[in-house]
Amino acid sequence: MNANVANTIAHETIFSTRNLTKTYKMGVVEVQALRGIDMEIYASEIVVLLGASGSGKSTLVNILGGLDTATAGQVHYRKVNLTEASESELTSYRRLSVGFVFQFYNLIPSLTARENVAIVTEIAEHPMKPEEALALVDLEERMDHFPAQLSGGEQQRVAIARAVAKNPDVLLCDEPTGALDSKTGIIVLKALQKVNQSLGTATVLITHNVVIGGMADRIISLHDGKIAGIRENKVKRLPEEMEW
């Protein structure tokens, strides 16, 4: 591959936002959660979204994922203007194009790991097999276990397998290691990195933890609803090299 081609691929834009603004109204009180966000997310990259509590990280990711809508400004997913999408367009966008991973795993307790993943693959257009998704997060030995028989880190890896099994274009992760100790958190981050490398799924990862920024291609810092800085890592760290 020549350098120009590599460059084009590296900068294929998946999301772009312009003057993205979100105001929550609670009675007479208004909270300005996002105050004019301009940014891009590129295909296949890992972006870590850093910022203090209340800086707007979840709001931004929820809007990118079609879980919430902007008050003003624009957000495009590829050529689709999400700000003008209908409810049914947003539903199929969420179902087909986006995988979500949250701090809490939200697995169904009465279903095995394999069945928790299969629920999603049954409604997807181009899914992988549940077994394949679970192997990707190194859980092939635990497929027939129920959530209660799995550790927190293993449950989070099932949640990652469930999110990627539909072959989404982008994986949005809101504090995926927030409930885990650092050793387990690193195993979960290794699973996310492996998914990114194996499938090329663009990954946006929210965290408070500056150290986790080391594994990103780019780090976008938010402060008080605005972008405080965008930094590129010349050399990415492996999760197992990180310590906190």
Ligand X SMILES: Nc1ncnc2c1ncn2[C@@H]1O[C@H](COP(=O)(O)OP(=O)(O)OP(=O)(O)O)[C@@H](O)[C@H]1O
Residues in contact with ligand X by the rule CB under 6 A: 24, 26, 31, 33, 51, 53-59
Q: Which is nearer to ligand X, 43 or 67 (CB)?
A: 67
**In the complex, what is the shortest distance from the CB of residue 223 to ligand X, in angstroms, rounded to a whole number?**
10
**In the complex, what is the shortest distance from the CB of residue 42 to ligand X, in angstroms, rounded to a whole number?**
22
**In the complex, what is the shortest distance from the CB of residue 73 to ligand X, in angstroms, rounded to a whole number?**
15
Q: How far apart are CA 32 and CA 184, in angstroms?
A: 35
**In the complex, what is the shortest distance from the CB of residue 22 to ligand X, in angstroms, rounded to a whole number?**
8
Q: Which is nearer to ligand X, 2 or 53 (CB)?
A: 53
Count the neighbouring beta carbons within 10 Å of the beta carbon of residue 114. 19
Spell out a b/e string for 183-219, using b for 16 or more CB atoms within 10 Å of the CB, else e.
Answer: ebbbbbbbbbbebbeebebbbbbbbebeebbbbbbbb
**In the complex, what is the shortest distance from the CB of residue 52 to ligand X, in angstroms, rounded to a whole number?**
7
Query: Could you tell me which residues come within 8 angstroms of residue 196 by beta carbon, excluding any fewer than 6 positions away?
Result: 44, 46, 171, 202, 203
Q: How far apart are CA 123 and CA 17, in angstroms?
A: 29
Q: Which is nearer to ligand X, 26 or 148 (CB)?
A: 26
**In the complex, what is the shortest distance from the CB of residue 93 to ligand X, in angstroms, rounded to a whole number?**
20
DSSP string, 2-57: -HHHHHHHHT-EEEEEEEEEEEEEETTEEEEEEEEEEEEEETT-EEEEE--TTSSH
Q: Which is nearer to ligand X, 52 or 238 (CB)?
A: 52
Question: Is 173:192 a contact under the CB 8 Å cutoff?
Answer: yes
Q: Which is nearer to ligand X, 35 or 145 (CB)?
A: 35
Q: Which is nearer to ligand X, 23 or 74 (CB)?
A: 23
